[in-house]
């Protein structure tokens, strides 16, 4: 997989609602970040939780990742009005956290706020067998209805249950650790179940254009302007 050039990166992002960036982080960096993620979970997450939000608030290593120039350089072409970090979260699957993430769009969780995108980076090689991200290309151009789900994990409470896409419309992101998936908050995505009995740790960082704080933003203390609007 080759890194897309900046112009094709923004064209791909507009067309598909996501773009894959191979080899953004090295294997060694993924090892360190995964160890840090485990520490963050052990020290801060509710026992048994597979999701932890506000990672950059408690971890200098993840705070640095959120504004790593390699990530910011990718965001610049798709975010012509500047780049502001909002927040990040760890999502992991493991031999005892096997459930798939249900189909959803993130915009549902921050309705009536400005558009956002997220960068999903697996810290383990991610495959269909260990719960990788799945996306529906082009789905960001449509409106979707989310309904309450009754899932045993309780961690993803809402989802899309009436999507009309076919199996072949879905891209299963079978990618090496350190590859980034940059995706729109309107893109339908989820994950496969983890049937491999292996870890699948990922960090998801969310960005939007710099602007005066909306009420929603105040919930995210690590928010930070990285590329001001005028720098473009």
Ligand X SMILES: O=C(O)CCC(=O)C(=O)O
203 makes contact with ligand X (CB under 6 A): no
- Residue 62: phi and psi, rounded to 5, are -75, -30
Rounded least distance, CB 126 to ligand X, Å: 9
CA-CA distance, 7 to 50, in Å (whole number)? Answer: 36
Rounded least distance, CB 102 to ligand X, Å: 9
Rounded least distance, CB 232 to ligand X, Å: 27
Q: Which position among 59, 101, 184, 194 is part of the footprint of ligand X (CB under 6 A)?
A: 101
208 makes contact with ligand X (CB under 6 A): no
204 makes contact with ligand X (CB under 6 A): yes
Q: Which position among 53, 83, 84, 91 is part of the footprint of ligand X (CB under 6 A)?
A: 91
Rounded least distance, CB 121 to ligand X, Å: 10
Using the minimum distance from each CB to ligand X, give the nearer residue, 55 or 91. Answer: 91
Using the minimum distance from each CB to ligand X, give the nearer residue, 113 or 229. Answer: 113
20 makes contact with ligand X (CB under 6 A): no
CA-CA distance, 223 to 225, in Å (whole number)? Answer: 7
Using the minimum distance from each CB to ligand X, give the nearer residue, 23 or 155. Answer: 155
* Partners of 196 in beta bridges: none
Supply 3's token pair.
């890194």
Q: Which position among 86, 133, 173, 187 is part of the footprint of ligand X (CB under 6 A)?
A: 133
Q: How many residues bind ligand X (CB under 6 A)?
A: 8
Using the minimum distance from each CB to ligand X, give the nearer residue, 10 or 153. Answer: 153
| Residues in 136-195 that interact with ligand X by CB under 6 A | 189, 191
The contact set with ligand X (CB under 6 A) reads 91, 101, 106, 133, 189, 191, 202, 204
């Amino acid at each position: 997989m080759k890194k897309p050039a900046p112009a094709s990166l923004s064209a791909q992002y507009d067309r598909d609602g996501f773009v894959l960036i191979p080899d953004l982080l090295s294997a060694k960096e993924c090892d360190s970040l995964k160890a840090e993620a485990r520490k963050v979970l052990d020290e801060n997450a509710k026992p048994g939780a597979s999701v932890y939000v506000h990672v950059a608030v408690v971890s200098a290593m993840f705070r640095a990742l959120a504004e790593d120039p390699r990530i910011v350089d990718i965001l610049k072409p798709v975010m012509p009005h500047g780049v502001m970090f909002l927040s990040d979260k760890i999502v992991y699957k493991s031999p005892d956290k096997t459930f798939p993430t249900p189909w959803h769009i993130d915009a549902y969780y921050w309705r009536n706020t400005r558009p956002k995108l997220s960068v999903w980076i697996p810290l383990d090689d991610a495959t269909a067998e260990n719960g990788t991200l799945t996306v529906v290309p082009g789905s960001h151009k449509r409106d979707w209805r989310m309904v309450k789900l009754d899932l045993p994990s309780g961690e993803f409470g809402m989802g899309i249950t009436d999507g009309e896409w076919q199996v072949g419309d879905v891209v299963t992101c079978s990618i090496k650790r350190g590859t980034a998936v940059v995706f729109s908050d309107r893109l339908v995505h989820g994950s496969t179940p983890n049937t491999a009995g292996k870890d699948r740790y990922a960090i998801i960082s969310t960005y939007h254009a710099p602007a005066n704080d909306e009420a929603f933003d105040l919930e995210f203390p690590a928010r930070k302007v990285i590329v001001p609007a005028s720098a473009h």
